[in-house]
Amino acid sequence: MRYNLIIIVVMFFMFQQQSTAQKINSKNIEIDNNINRPKLVVGLVIDQMRWDYLYKYYNRYSEGGFKRLLNKGYSFENTLIPFVPTYTAVGHSSVYTGAIPATSGIVGNNWYERKIGKNMYCTEDSTVQGVGNNDIAGKMSPRNLWCTTVTDELRLSSNFKSKVIGIALKDRGAILPAGHSANAAYWYDDKTGKWITSTYYMNAIPTWVNDFNSKDAVGGFMKNDWNTLYPINTYTQSTADDMPYEDDLANTKSHTFPYKLSSITTGKYSSFKYTPYAATYTFDFAKDAILNEKLGSTAVTDFLAVSISSTDYMGHTFGVNAIETEDTYLRLDKDIADFLNYLDTKIGKNNYIFFLTADHGAAHIPGFLKEHNLPAGVFSESILVKEINTIIEDSFSIKNAISSIQNYQVYFNTKVIDSKKNAIIETVIKFLKLQPYIINVFETEKINETTIAEPMKTNYINGYTPTRSGDIQFIVKPAFFDGGKKGTTHGLWNPYDAHIPLLFFGKNIAAGKTNRETYMTDIAPTIAAILKIQMPNGSVGKVLQEVLR
């Protein structure tokens, strides 16, 4: 009897333990299933936005735009681009893939494709046709991108129930973020002032897009001349309005306020891209996409990738220190505030994740720097091509040995120089080292054998892809670049091109900031971690733990 009682007591405790374990397991399963994803993720890439613009104009920003993101969101103050070149296509692809050019294949806006022996534009695709457009502007797709984006991974994770849409004036700013499996990507046709796409995504423009296009919003904006938002004498963070090193607004003969947009007839829709109204236009279209595609309204997370391209067109023209630049960002601040309010109302304050970053920064105009006794200068890659081809022809009797120079790389016509390649490379490197604006030159495939200081060495390794990169890389002095005497550009490893803003805002994002070094490649894996999905398959970035608390 006593033995049987012991067995009963033991069995009772075993049952209790099993029951407790089942409850714990059941609780864990419940927690695991309660992922609590946001209804919508919005990625905003501001083309050519330097990090310091967050603070340069801070006192003039409204409470609802950049200040709201800085004070209510999390800011990574020391985010860098860990590769070269720092161009639009490379930046947009890296933001959304977490990849470097070595794993994404996007080594520039343009490159020489060795396998087919021709220059390639990053999103060109001869196998598709434009939809809403009958010329080359519509023949675009993401097929040149080798890896997945975080937007692709979101689609995969939901068995393609999540909707993904990319929007930007520039085709590459819409297509590369949206990824391979997107429901749509829309970009701007500057001949007609309409949003277009390609047969890669669809065979006909949706009704809501046709309705938006039919309003000719661009024509309406261009009836308004561009004058400063505030009295021009209050723009104390900028140079004087009439500076000789600023270029003219497209299709005008002016680089001073006010800009008589209403008087532009030829190229009106192209000129529009250079005005701050183009950002407003982009946000208006993004709102229509949210409304008509019912983004953020189902049980799965949707993703809207928006890029503001007009800041780049404007920045190239007027530079970092122009009144036009200050005015553009003050107006953009109001557009962002309005868009965040729209998301609050339409999606709900605690139902979306929003991040803001840039694809690259920009250099000061050399003319401005020289005015203040700072070293700077420009040179011409096209002139370099002529000079190098002449040297090779004189020394080796070979014509047109250089196919091109782009991305600060020399591309050889390998079929022409094959038998004398080593001697020609040695001659070209010797010539380039003599140029006063160049500080180092090396064969791209021999970078590991070259003495280059970090972090430059890693950046050049990360940017190298054998089938798409050039044969020789040259490094120029800080504040020197390929360009003219007016306006500015970007593309180098230097902080003015590589230091970008990065802010996260929205659902479960605590306010804060850090100055620890982070990278553009960290954005995609962080979004993947927030959504609890796989990171993109070419990603080399790390998860930013600060936004997962």
The rounded distance, in Å, linking the Cα atoms of 248 and 318 is 8
What one-character-per-residue DSSP string does 249-286 give? PTTSS--SSSB-GGG--TTHHHHGGGSTHHHHHHHHHH
Supply φ then ψ for residue 282, to 5 degrees: -65, -45
The torsion angle over the Cα atoms of residues 223, 225, 229 and 230, rounded to 10 degrees, is -140
The rounded distance, in Å, linking the Cα atoms of 334 and 65 is 6
Closest to 48 measured CA to CA, from 521, 487, 539, 505: 487
The rounded distance, in Å, linking the Cα atoms of 214 and 208 is 10
Strand, coil or helix: 348: coil
Evaluate whether 118 touches 385 at the Cβ level (below 8 Å): no
The rounded distance, in Å, linking the Cα atoms of 538 and 102 is 9
Q: Which of 88, 280, 328, 521 is catalytic?
A: 88
> How does strand 502-506 pair with strand 352-357?
antiparallel
- Please give the helix or strand (H or E) that residue 356 lies within, else none: strand 352-357
> How does strand 79-80 pair with strand 499-500?
antiparallel
Instruction: At 115, list the tokens.
Output: 């396998």
DSSP-derived secondary structure letter, 226: B
Closest to 85 measured CA to CA, from 491, 467, 455, 507: 491
Instruction: At 288, list the tokens.
Output: 């229509």
Q: Is 199 annotated in the active site?
A: no
Evaluate whether 145 touches 180 at the Cβ level (below 8 Å): yes
* Residues noted as catalytic: 88
